[in-house]
Structure 1
């Protein structure tokens, strides 16, 4: 009997045992069947032999149909999928572009141009700013969800639903350089900055151990290729910890930083995240007389409902007691 004639017999044998071969190419299956029927069936099966799935389990899987699609959390729906979030990002970046043109024009005609980096010793109630002198102008941007959307990582997170994992994030930094996209408006605003001879500097809490991969991700998104320790600053570059003030100080030593862009208050000053600073204090600080004039006039905030310091606060923190309402119809 030829080997080809043995194939139907092999299939019949598997059916009689109540099992099926899972994903086996026809040729491989026929070869294995040939050995079985030609008296070589007492040997240990090879490592790549097909695994047998109980027929009842296969029938149940077929009846159940394909697994449901992963549920996308509302914050991800908004940030990565909605036109509303894209419009907010465009709005911020278009305002930034106009601001950069104005500041560049001021410098050209000899006007003093102020820095927007808080000087050491500042407080949120009494901010002071690093003097600019004649240092070249610069724009400083955060990276994640400010310059780049981490679509690949967040897709994987939505599929898993397991929460943030620092080891998985590190693997993403190393291998996810092609899974990003520019935030709407970033390409245009950065192009305006460079045409106006304003340096574009990135200040990120990605690890400095992955500097080359982060630079590649930024370049791959069309935002230019930053140079580590000049136009790219990362966690660990100016001391331990994830605070950005030490890196901002190093940037401000070389550049007159006329604008900063971020999606967290810490992208503008570590003072917003000082230990013991509660939710109400942070919210009040950004509206203080000394700082409120910076929003849209040097400090530009982007939406991020997915992660970060903005996602905090208990029931009593978020809903002031004097602003509560109970439905007169009663019920829960």
Structure 2
């Protein structure tokens, strides 16, 4: 049993972290709604991580934007199938999008958090790299987990809605044109900005996440959910992760 799967899909610790993130997110949003912010948390098109600029709020209604997989839904069926060590296959994932919805459940804390956001008058929007061709199955999966409504083109945006592939910024900008986005949640850095996808090494990506100009956003507009199972976080050799100055061995 892969340790990451044990942790994410089976442990009380992962459930606690997820609930903690959702509790923090809803508390933050409630505070921001009271304060009536002048800008949201979506980076504008000309922004950089060193010099971030954010879409203005004006008089737009409030929204919160979330990734789907391992952010609001846990894909237990697909990962059960993969637990034997089967390598990832895009065709297999697309088949799961269509037929695996009955095995998904809401991420711990997600339903309570989403319900709380809607009570505050905040529109909940899903921005996923699931395929637009499978929109109906994705909508059903989200709504079966009690997280809906999810309306394609309004509160559900998918890979294939534009010509940018798995990059999400174009969809975020489209959402920010209509809404004041005061919180975002995801399990990958690309769920917050495509700028995080540019660094080529684990060390560079870690430095990007720690950049002083954006570091204050984690837990204050940008909220990360745990995912040690797949994605951009799982990269790097032993030498990448433990450079020379990080090594220790006991004396003989």
Q: Is the 8 A contact 2:69 2:75 kept in 1?
A: yes
Higher fraction of strand: 2
Which of structure 1's runs of 4+ aligned residues deviate more than 6 A?
Answer: none
Task: Select the residue among 111, 128, 149 that pairs with 2:74.
Answer: 149
In the TM superposition, residue 157 of structure 1 has moved relative to its aligned partner by 1.3
**2:113 aligns to what?**
189
Of 58, 74, 78, the match for 2:3:
74
Contact 2:38 2:56 in 1 (8 A): no
Q: Structure 2: how far apart are the matches of 1:141 and 1:322?
A: 38
CA RMSD, aligned part only? 1.1
Q: Look up the match of 2:90.
A: 166
The correspondence for 1:134, drawn from 59, 64, 83, is 59
SS in 1 for 2:14: helix
Matching of residue 248 in structure 1 with residue 248 in structure 2: no
Which TM-score applies when normalising by structure 2? 0.97
1:146-189 Cα shifts (integer Å, max 9, x gaps): 00000111111114x21111111111001111110000010111
The CA deviation string for residues 35-82 of structure 1, in whole angstroms up to 9 with x for no partner, is: xxxxxxxxxxxxxxxxxxxxxxxxxxxxxxxxxxxxx21110000000
Bigger relative contact order, structure 1 or 2 (CA pairs below 8 A, ≥6 apart):
2
2:156 to 207, 210, 232: 232
Which residue in the other structure is 1:273 paired with?
Answer: 197
Which of residues 12, 16, 26 is equivalent to 1:83? Answer: 12
- Give per-residue Cα distances to partners, 1:82-130, cap 9 Å, x unaligned: 01111110110000110111112223xxxx3421000011111111111
Q: 1:121 aligns with which of 22, 26, 46?
A: 46
Among 27, 31, 35, the residue aligned to 1:106:
35
Asked if structure 2 preserves the Cα contact closer than 8 Å seen for 1:139 and 1:257, the reply is yes
Normalising to structure 1: TM-score of the pair? Answer: 0.74
Aligned to 1:176: 100
Residues 145 and 183, structure 1, Cα contact 8 Å, conserved in 2? yes
Question: Once the 2 structures are TM-superposed, how far is the Cα of residue 323 of structure 1 from its aligned partner?
Answer: 2.1
Q: Which runs of 5 or more residues in structure 2 are unaligned?
A: none
Of structures 1 and 2, the larger Rg is shown by 1
Residue 240 of structure 1 and its aligned partner are, at CA, apart by 3.4
Aligned to 1:288: 211
- 3-state SS of paired residue (1:116): strand
Corresponding residue to 1:93 among 22, 30, 34:
22
**Which residue in the other structure is 1:217 paired with?**
141
1:328 aligns with 2:251: yes
The answer to whether the Cα contact below 8 Å between 1:106 and 1:113 also exists between their aligned partners in 2 is: no
